Structure 1
């Protein structure tokens, strides 16, 4: 899994992780425990009234994450179509389409996630469109309604 510079080769890592559901679950359990500990440390240092955590597999791993101590008030979904997911993942990671599909197939279908969250943010446009949506949502809510545990503080 390491390259010639002794760094993690992401392509090899992804192939290994997605080669077996059992391997993926074991790795997720190990990683989540450490990550939640780190998130909770950052939350305790936060001076913000509103704190967000970006957890890509929140709904798939919700039980494990809460088991390891994640506390949150709401779940927000940044929604995009499956086609855009494939395109963006392909561009970001420079993977072939079949590998990209394998990653997405291991996740809950994004359409099913819509019914399981508190807020949906449509992410089918530009980054500026996305930021404007978040600003509008935050303007409509009070601090108590949207306090969320996390690492990145909202301004």
Structure 2
């Protein structure tokens, strides 16, 4: 089984971009956000419970979860977010374990926005934090998701700060420059990890 290396960063930090840069070097990864979508696919027990709890306002015409509508509710109501997490997080953790066990190579990445917040660093031998400024995060997420500034700030408030996250990580990648600079940083860290695993 491949060694698991956690890759984390707040919303809008560039986790997917960094994970794809590792993938180009032959490193497999499991994305917790994609796993979180899997456990609420149509027909799943989690999705049925979510519709029962929150009602039809978060069901799309095709029977899928309206993520934008749900996000508005759970980032305004802490109790609703806690209810959702208690339902979905055990299912997410089990699916993560299954997908990580199927990875090959020297190491694979667990890409997870809440790696430390949810205690999933316990699954990892090392952890990498992607460091960006809050201003960059807000700007990127507003552009990407068409969220307003306050909604992005509400999401950021549920995550560790950049300083707190970096203090917990074994390695840090600063994603504040160009794409070429980021690729160089990923290559350098990849080479270092391979040496550690020889």
Aligned residues: 140
Give unmatched runs, 5+ long, in structure 2. 1-57
Residue of structure 2 in register with 1:144 after alignment: 197
Whichever structure has more strand as a proportion of its residues is 2
| Equivalent residues of 1:78, 1:123 under 8 A apart | yes
> Whole-Å Cα distance in 2 between the matches of residues 26 and 130 of structure 1?
37
Residue of structure 2 in register with 1:81 after alignment: 133
> Whole-Å Cα distance in 1 between the matches of residues 86 and 170 of structure 2?
25
Could you tell me the TM-score, scaled by structure 2's length?
A: 0.64
Deviations 1:36-86 (A, max 9, x none): 211211222222111001100112111xx47xxx62111110111100010
Say if 2:172 is the partner of 1:120.
yes
Shift in alpha-carbon separation, 1:75–1:25, aligned structure 2, 3 A: farther
Q: More deviation in 17-26 or 129-138?
A: 17-26
**Mapping for residues 3-82 of structure 1, pairs under 5 Å:** 3-62=60-119, 65=120, 71-82=123-134
> Whole-Å Cα distance in 2 between the matches of residues 17 and 6 of structure 1?
20
The CA deviation at 1:30 is 2.6
Give unmatched runs, 5+ long, in structure 1. 146-155
Q: More deviation in 75-84 or 108-117?
A: 108-117
Shift in alpha-carbon separation, 1:127–1:39, aligned structure 2, 3 A: farther
Shift in alpha-carbon separation, 1:134–1:83, aligned structure 2, 3 A: same
**Mapping for residues 76-115 of structure 1, pairs under 5 Å:** 76-115=128-167
RMSD: 1.9
> Whole-Å Cα distance in 2 between the matches of residues 130 and 52 of structure 1?
17
